[in-house]
Structure 1
Amino acid sequence: MGEVRFMISEAAKQVHVEAHVLRYWEDELDLKIGRTEMGHRYYTEDDIQLFRCIQKLKDEGVMLKDLKPMIHELTIAKEKLTEPKENAKLPANVTSTDITKKEVDSADVIPITQLEQVRNLIGDVLTEVVTENNKTLETNISKKVTQDVLREVDFLFQANERQEEEHYRKLDTLIRQQQTIRKEAVKDTPLTRLRKILT
């Protein structure tokens, strides 16, 4: 029985996006999506799982350009996992004659399907991408907060300068008024009044 294939509309429903979004991701991330004999796209379970991971990362704020190198590494790892078993190599110190059927049958082997391996690999890649994205976000937030604090301090400093300038302007006005009042008071002495009367 062959693998299950989904047309683009079915795949889009499973990922909860529009069909054009899948085509856009395919182009932007250089994804190799299968084609039918008629040239129509078809998607496998692995493709849909990958698109779900991309959607989750995008929801967390990861940019497609940041995902592209990770997807490339993931594709290479997936191809290595899906290589035929006869291409698999034994460790350097073990030859094929060293392993007998009985030893293989009696060994405690935990079966891991290719899908589980791909999921584990995707999980590792996602962890790495999220960690890098968090560092970038931390740097960006730190810069933004620093800029905002500096702008606020500058605004407060200018406001304080304006307030001091206004204070000194009022003080200067009061001093000038006092000087004018004193000059008027000196002009109004009894001797000055007597002179005004006599003249």
Structure 2
Amino acid sequence: MKAKTYRIGEAATLLNLKPYVLRFWETEFKQLIPIRTQKGQRMYSEQNILLLRAIRHLLYERGLTIEGARKVLGQYEEIHGSITGPEFPGPEIEAFCAGSGTEKPLYGTEASGAIDVEEIITELASLRDLLITGRH
């Protein structure tokens, strides 16, 4: 069975965005690579749609800048190895970016939107210790 794909207009409607936003995000997020038809038309896969939802969440709901969203997606790639593989991004990327799943996002989640620097320093120190000792 052939995987479902969406034309740019369909994807934009599905995500409640304008097509020009999707085209712009292609230039800003290296992981977002729609399929191109022989005529050059963009076709978005289900994986592209999940990635676009995550990007939209990071930018519009979390209020991150494009650079901040790139960093979060980069963190996701470091942890999971890929965003662009055949099984990625799965629903876990939405949970990761939203902070609603079992995974804790690596950026601030306080109601004010401020990042807790002390918490980050503590977490980084803990990770450093794990790397040094090699224990989980």
TM tier, smaller: 0.5 to 0.7
Answer whether contact 1:33 1:43 (CA < 8 A) is retained: yes
Deviation (angstroms), 1:57: 2.1
User: Does residue 82 of structure 2 align to residue 77 of structure 1?
Assistant: yes
In the alignment, the residues of structure 1 paired with residue 84 and residue 71 of structure 2 have an alpha-carbon distance, to the nearest angstrom, of 16
In the alignment, the residues of structure 2 paired with residue 15 and residue 6 of structure 1 have an alpha-carbon distance, to the nearest angstrom, of 11
Identical-pair percentage: 23
Aligned residue type for 2:43: Y
Residue number in structure 2 paired with 1:120: 92
In the alignment, the residues of structure 1 paired with residue 34 and residue 73 of structure 2 have an alpha-carbon distance, to the nearest angstrom, of 13
Q: Decide whether aligned partners of structure 1 residues 69 and 139 sit closer, same or farther in structure 2, where only a CA change above 3 A counts.
A: closer
Point out where structure 2 has 5 or more consecutive residues left out of the alignment: 117-136
Deviations 1:114-145 (A, max 9, x none): 47x711244224437855143794259xxxxx
What secondary structure, in the 3-state scheme, does the structure 2 residue paired with 1:22 have? helix
Residue number in structure 2 paired with 1:37: 38
Q: Decide whether aligned partners of structure 1 residues 4 and 64 sit closer, same or farther in structure 2, where only a CA change above 3 A counts.
A: same
Structure with the largest fraction of strand: 2
Q: Decide whether aligned partners of structure 1 residues 29 and 5 sit closer, same or farther in structure 2, where only a CA change above 3 A counts.
A: same
Answer whether contact 2:4 2:45 (CA < 8 A) is retained: yes
Q: For the aligned residues, what is the CA RMSD?
A: 3.1
Q: Could you tell me the TM-score, scaled by structure 1's length?
A: 0.45
Q: Could you tell me the TM-score, scaled by structure 2's length?
A: 0.62
In the alignment, the residues of structure 1 paired with residue 24 and residue 47 of structure 2 have an alpha-carbon distance, to the nearest angstrom, of 18
Greater Cα shift, 66-75 or 12-21: 66-75
In the alignment, the residues of structure 2 paired with residue 42 and residue 119 of structure 1 have an alpha-carbon distance, to the nearest angstrom, of 20
Answer whether contact 1:34 1:41 (CA < 8 A) is retained: yes
Residue number in structure 2 paired with 1:67: 69
Q: Decide whether aligned partners of structure 1 residues 55 and 129 sit closer, same or farther in structure 2, where only a CA change above 3 A counts.
A: farther
Q: Decide whether aligned partners of structure 1 residues 134 and 120 sit closer, same or farther in structure 2, where only a CA change above 3 A counts.
A: closer
Aligned residue type for 2:9: S
Aligned residue type for 2:46: E
Residue number in structure 1 paired with 2:134: none
Aligned residue type for 1:8: I
What secondary structure, in the 3-state scheme, does the structure 2 residue paired with 1:132 have? coil
Task: Provide the aligned length of Structure 1 versus Structure 2.
Answer: 107
What secondary structure, in the 3-state scheme, does the structure 1 residue paired with 2:5 have? coil
Residue number in structure 2 paired with 1:22: 22
Structure with the largest fraction of helix: 1
- Spell out structure 1 runs of 4+ moving beyond 2 A: 69-80, 124-131, 133-140
